[in-house]
Amino acid sequence: MIKVENLTKKFETITAVENISFDINESEIFGFLGPNGAGKTTTIRMLSTLISQTSGKITIDNRSPESDGEYIRSIIGLLTESPGMYEKISAYDNLDYYSSFYSISNTIRKNNIKKYLKMFDLWDRKDDLAGTYSKGMKQKLALSRALIHEPKILFLDEPTAGLDPESAHMVRNFIESQKKEKTTVFLCTHNLEEASNLSDRVCIIKRKIIRIATLSELQSDDKNKRVEIVFTDDADRYIKLLEEIDEIKNIQSDKNKATLVIEKPEISNPIIIKKLVDSGAQVLYFNEIKATLEEIYLDLIKDEEAK
């Protein structure tokens, strides 16, 4: 659905995006993650044809922005970080105006305006000026605008920013539901828990691409695996024994729990268990703790900055 090859964007002497390449499949939710200034918004602007690339190639639905920009704009929905609605007209009129840009019938336009205003709990205030809306309501109105023509591809830049927990939960459920509609979602967010729960794959970027992978792949490749041991008694009784095991890199204890950092648990775990059992330790649980996306992300960004 989306193919990017060696994409670069320069603004005079500043390189915002440098030689990035990736493919996104139909109905995939693709998490696009990175710190402020990493090039995320610039990439979205290029993919949505708002700005042109300095070099490289973009293909969307087998079309290029250079020759088929109008077609590409007709199949994408864009939610920017700043909603940017017309504040002196009503919410309904905002959607009516923006939906007029697309080749959809008046009946479908009206039905979709009602559908999305109801979906995001805005129907009762459809006639109120957009300027009277709260930040969260404006965000939901902007999301309605992005969906009004039922696009094949959604570019979402911080979709739950400013939303209360209930509304954010509703938006996340909606994003997840788009897979059934075969909608491709390009999700740009600083909420790493959100990205972890929603994304089929994540792309971590800091001007250049650091890594593209599923969460499971990232967890498998994480060099510092953590293991939690739960004892029947105080874990401190076994700290000295654990410190004698070369395979263990770091130990932390809390009451009857000990957390170990091990590089290769598949090799080390049997050694650790045997030594503990031989010493008479009563072990209730021995579990590997998967690293979170946030932990992996921070490590990758730190490693990139150290280069």
Q: Which residue positions in the chain have pLDDT lower than 70?
A: 223-224
- How far is 123 from 66, CA to CA, in rounded Å? 39
CATH code linked to domain 2-219: 3.40.50.300
Q: What share of the chain is helix, strand, coil (3-state, %, to 5)?
A: 40, 30, 30
Q: State the pLDDT at residue 149.
A: 94
223-290: same fold as 2-219? no
Q: Determine contact, residues 123/46, Cβ cutoff 8 Å.
A: no
Q: Where are the domains of the chain?
A: 2-219, 223-290
- Order the strands of the 257-262 sheet from edge to edge: 248-254, 257-262, 225-231, 283-289
- Return the structure tokens found at 114: 């009602």
Q: State the pLDDT at residue 307.
A: 73
Q: State the pLDDT at residue 304.
A: 86
Q: State the pLDDT at residue 306.
A: 80
Burial class (CB in 10 A: 0-12, 13-18, 19+), 246: exposed
Q: State the pLDDT at residue 135.
A: 87
CATH code linked to domain 223-290: 3.30.70.2470
Determine how β-strand 29-33 pairs with β-strand 201-206.
parallel
Q: What is the pLDDT of residues 233-257, one digit of tens each?
A: 999 988 888 888 877 888 999 999 9
Closest among 243, 228, 246 to 290, alpha carbons compared = 228
Q: What is the pLDDT of residues 167-225, one digit of tens each?
A: 889 889 989 998 888 899 999 999 999 999 999 999 999 999 999 999 999 988 876 68
pTM over 0.75: yes
